[in-house]
Amino acid sequence: MGSTPCRATRRTVLKSLAAGAAVLAAGPDSAASPPAPLPRARPEDLGIDPAGIRAFVEQVNHKVGGLHSFMLLRRGQVAAEAWWAPCTPQAPHMLFSLSKSFASTAVGLAVAEGRLSLDATVASFFPDDLPREVSPNLAAMRLRHLLTMATGHDKDATGPTVAAPDGNWVRAFLSLPVEHAPGSKFVYNSAATYMCSAIVQKVTGQTLLRWLTPRVFRPLGIQRPAWDSCPRGINVGGWGLSVKTEDIARFGQLYLQKGQWNGRRILPEEWVAQATAKQISNGDSGSSDWSHGYGYQFWRCRHGAYRGDGAFGQFCIVMPDRDAVLAITSGVPDMQAVMNAAWECLLPAMTNQRPASAADSRALAGLLASLSVPGPAARPDPPLARRISGREIRFEPNGDGLESAVLEFQRGECRAALRDRQCQRILRCRPDSWTPCTLPREERPGLTMEAPAAVRAAWTADNTWTLRICFPETPFVETDEFRFEDGRVTVARRLNVSFGSPERAPLRGRLA
């Protein structure tokens, strides 16, 4: 309970986390003072129909659910923005594979400074970590093949790479068979991005985080980014970066402006064009936005757009034809449905054809101000609430170390006292709003850290009290259903999204 798995990337990374591989590396402050906020304007003043933005939010809410924030920019100004409570503008959010686009940017800067060539072979950077026999395909693998997910591996190399027992991910990656000629086959491969990070660190002596801070993060006003690292201190690259929603929007705007920011050249225009162009085919260009080509750690999309994205709906979508950027954080199981809503609702709204009415503007403002991650479907407290209020629930031994709980109900609210091996935590839960708190969150097996959280709870059946826990800096929301039957208590637990099964091991106990 309250110990939500916070895994780094696709399911294959679980093995590395079990080995204690990923270590959070917090970067230096990337600005000495708070950055100037992005300019704001009414959507109608930027040629956007507010009704289209409202339709986008309503479609995602009703058909998908799970958004945590979004920010829509057009012509360099914020046209609309919203955070679903308890998420806030000030909180960073895990980007998962959206991190890859930032890693690619670090490579582009190293190329621009003459430290790297895209045609350099991967093997040339790590002579001490090569296998005894270097296959022709491994010898032919180049930096550009890492960037385009065309390393020649038959399947994603991340699992065996991060499972290296000695923590040397580079050596583990180089030891894997390379079944195909590099450049001949697209296979999504987070380990390839890790190797990009290792190469940048090899030639610069700096992690991606430190390399990007003076070159990108500080100029853009991105403060306090954090990036996971492997056991040897290399930022993992393909996942693990956490920044705020507005930081994602600034990054997208930098690319939309072809590498310029406030009149200053940050990235070479040629790199922006190459990184976001189709470098390799990855499908049949159908209705899926994952089959329109891949650049240098950027996906091509329908409608002439491109994006970086991460698991469970972390998006940086750049729409050059509309002079627009869409930044999203979320915890959604269906990422394509979010993009469908953007194409169906936002693109038509940016056609400059329909003047906005005052009613449309008011309706949008009211909707954006009322958004919240859903809580349990509340009903009035049943008679059972009085009978169990203040009685101790003693749990059987469990993996979370939770020993007991006492629920006290009064006037529709609950004071929950949870005791584990180390301490007692008091949660004050309401059915109609999120209450901030701090709870343990599992960073990886064997390592639990305190993390910002928020709780809501309500009776959802005559014998079921439901506690919902949101970790707003992650995609994860946990739902715990306490079912009471003849003195026995069973707590069924599930996550909103997960790389594996969303169901967590239930807790069992009895009323004292």
Mean local confidence (pLDDT), 339-353: 92
Instruction: Please tell me the total number of residues recorded for the chain in this structure.
Output: 512
Distance of CA 195 to the CA centre of its chain: 21
- What is the pLDDT at residue 32? 55
On whether the pTM is more than 0.85, the answer is yes
CATH for 11-30+67-78+89-331 is 3.40.710.10
In what side-by-side order are the strands of the sheet with 241-243? Answer: 23-26, 226-229, 241-243, 93-94
The pLDDT-based confidence of 34 (bands split at 50, 70, 90) is confident
In what side-by-side order are the strands of the sheet with 464-470? Answer: 424-429, 413-420, 402-410, 392-395, 503-511, 488-495, 477-485, 464-470, 447-461, 435-444
- What is the pLDDT at residue 15? 37
Q: Lowest mean pLDDT of 87-91, 166-170, 366-370, 450-454, name the range.
A: 450-454
Architecture category of domain 383-511 in CATH: Beta Barrel (2.40)
Report d(CA 179, CA 63) in Å as an integer: 41
480-510, pLDDT tens digit by residue?
A: 999 999 999 999 999 999 999 999 999 999 9
17-28, pLDDT tens digit by residue?
A: 333 333 344 555
Domain range list for the chain: 11-30+67-78+89-331, 383-511
Which stretches within 27-98 are classed as H helix? 50-63
90-126, pLDDT tens digit by residue?
A: 999 999 999 999 999 999 999 999 999 999 999 999 9
286-338, pLDDT tens digit by residue?
A: 999 999 999 999 999 999 999 999 999 999 999 999 999 999 999 999 999 99
Give burial (CB, 10 Å; 0-12/13-18/19+) of 483.
Answer: middle
Element (H, E) at 182: none
